[in-house]
Amino acid sequence: MLKRAAAHLVLLLLAATVAADAPRILILGDSIAYDGRWTTRVESALRNTPAYAHAEIINLALPSETVNGLSEPGHARGMFPRPCLHDRLPSILRRTQPTIIVACYGMNDGLFQPLSPETFAAYKRGMERLVAAGKASGARVIVLTPPLHGADNTKTTPRDYDIVLDTFAGWLTSKELEGWEVVDIRPRLRALIARERGANPRFRFSQDNVHPDDRGHELLADVVLEALWVRLKLPEAPQPGSVARQKILGEAQRQLKLAWLSEIGHKRPGIPKGLPLEEASKKALLLRQDASAL
């Protein structure tokens, strides 16, 4: 009984340190963000700043997800169609009430096929709906262009899927003329990969052309951090901290992610069921306290 009371007191004291107006950052995306490695590195650096030390950072990315509502024939060997963000976005915004949204879509939206007018138009509509809904909820929306596909291919052809993602990225950056906040991560990511390959010709960004390896996630996170530091007007350089710190924060982020996904609901099979949100929040709070000591 005394141990439970002490633990409860610790949680109350920790919660009291979080300002009522603390930023609430929502991360949306597909399996690359759901993986948690680049998003945790970003979270760790943000928590090393006074402005975001006590932020609520919620990763609600979902594998296979698109914004376009389309799915290629036989996706996942015919077991399920691709989920669409817009089936759950109203609930996400209502429940999380973010102040900042960081969204990265596109990798799945071309359906891993040559560019077609239909898929391109659907992607445009989906992104416009996402940005409009985010802004209408009162959030600041920061859009990331899709990462690289086949980043380790030194010889490219006009049929490479990355050409589709280049097209998506070009359209996204054009929307800055309409007031969108868009970060084109692709040029800087290409430069960092070239640097890595120059130091180590055997370097691989990804084993399957889509999902980055450990070092790939670090590079992706560092590109995002460079841009966020400018957008959020943060001083000095990003400091993600030690591997041990990031590991603890990664577990906290995972607990919250699975809890929120279970709480809000989704149409993607194979996602582990999370703890009840209140329990996951308490665990995450204690884990973040442990990480802050590193």
Task: Give DSSP secondary structure letters for 126-166.
Answer: HHHHHHHHHHHTT-EEEEEPP--SSTT-SS--TT-HHHHHH
* pLDDT bucket at 19, cuts 50 / 70 / 90: low
Would 12 be classed as within a structural domain? no
* pLDDT bucket at 13, cuts 50 / 70 / 90: very low
CA 117 to chain centre: 27
Total domain count for the chain? 1
Question: Facing residues of 66 across strands?
Answer: 84
Rounded Cα gap, residues 20 and 143, in angstroms: 26
* pLDDT bucket at 20, cuts 50 / 70 / 90: low
Rounded Cα gap, residues 160 and 148, in angstroms: 11
Would 2 be classed as within a structural domain? no
Would 98 be classed as within a structural domain? yes
Q: What is the mean pLDDT of residues 244-263?
A: 98
Q: Of 128-142, 155-169, 184-198, 200-214, where does mean pLDDT reach its minimum?
A: 155-169
Mean pLDDT of all residues belonging to the chain: 93
Would 76 be classed as within a structural domain? yes
Q: What is the mean pLDDT of residues 78-100?
A: 98
Percent of the chain with pLDDT over 70: 93
pLDDT at site 64: 98
Query: Would you give the DSSP letter of residue 273?
Result: P
Would 130 be classed as within a structural domain? yes
Helices (H), 97-240: 117-136, 161-174, 186-199, 214-231
pLDDT at site 279: 98
44 and 225 Cβ atoms separated by less than 8 Å: no
66 and 99 Cβ atoms separated by less than 8 Å: no
CATH number of the domain that residue 80 is part of? 3.40.50.1110
pLDDT tens digits for range 167-193: 999 999 999 999 999 999 999 999 999
Q: What residue numbers bound the domain in which 259 lies? A: 26-292
260 and 58 Cβ atoms separated by less than 8 Å: yes
Would 20 be classed as within a structural domain? no
Would 13 be classed as within a structural domain? no
36 and 253 Cβ atoms separated by less than 8 Å: yes
Its pTM stands at 0.93
* pLDDT bucket at 118, cuts 50 / 70 / 90: very high
